[in-house]
Structure 1
Amino acid sequence: MKNTLLAICFFLLNLHLFAHEGGHGTPLKQWELATTHQTVNANFIKLEDNDVYLMDAHHPVQVYKLSDFSAADQNYIKAKRAAIQSLNNHHTASESQEGSNSSWWLLMFGLLLLGVSVYKLRKERKAMHFTYGILGGCIVTFVSCKNTATTGISVLQVPSHAVSVMQSFFEKFDGVTTHADSTYLYISSNGLPNHDMMVGISNWQQQVPINQNYTGANSWAIPIHPKMAEDPLSTKTNLLKGAIAVAVNGIPIFNPLNNRGEDANAIGELDEWGGHCGRADDYHYHLPPLHLQDQVGEGNPVAYAVDGFPVYGETTEPLDEYLGKTNPDGSYQYHSIEEYPYFIAGMRGEVQLDPKTKAPENQVYPQPRTQELRPALRPLRGAEIINFKSLGENAYQLTYRSEGKDYIINYSWDSTGTYTYQFINPDGTTTLETYKEK
Structure 2
Amino acid sequence: MKILMLGWELPPHNAGGLGVACAHMCRALASQGADIDFIVPYINSHPDIDFMRVIPAIPADAREVMKHSGAYDSFYYQSKTGKKHEIAANDYHSIYEASVDRIVTLGEYDVIHAYDWLTIRPALRAKQLLGIPLIVNIHALEYDRSGGGYGNPFVRDIEYHGMMMADKVVAISQHVKNIIVREYHVPESKVEVIHNSHVISGLNNQIAGPNTYRYIEMMRSVGYGIVMFFGRLTIQKNLPGLLRVMQKVVEKHPKSMLVLMGSGEQELELVELAAELGIGGNVIFVGFQRGKEWRDMFGVSDICVMPSVSEPFGLTPLEAAEFGVPNLISRQSGVAEILSSALRSDYWDVDDMANQIVSVLQNKELATQLSEDGISEVSKMNWDNNASKFLNLYRNQLGYAA
Higher strand residue share: 1
Q: Under TM normalisation by the shorter chain, which class is it?
A: under 0.3
TM-score normalized with structure 2 length: 0.21
The structure whose RCO (Cα within 8 Å, separation 6+) is larger is: 2
TM-score normalized with structure 1 length: 0.20
- Computing the radius of gyration from Cα coordinates, the structure with the larger value is 1
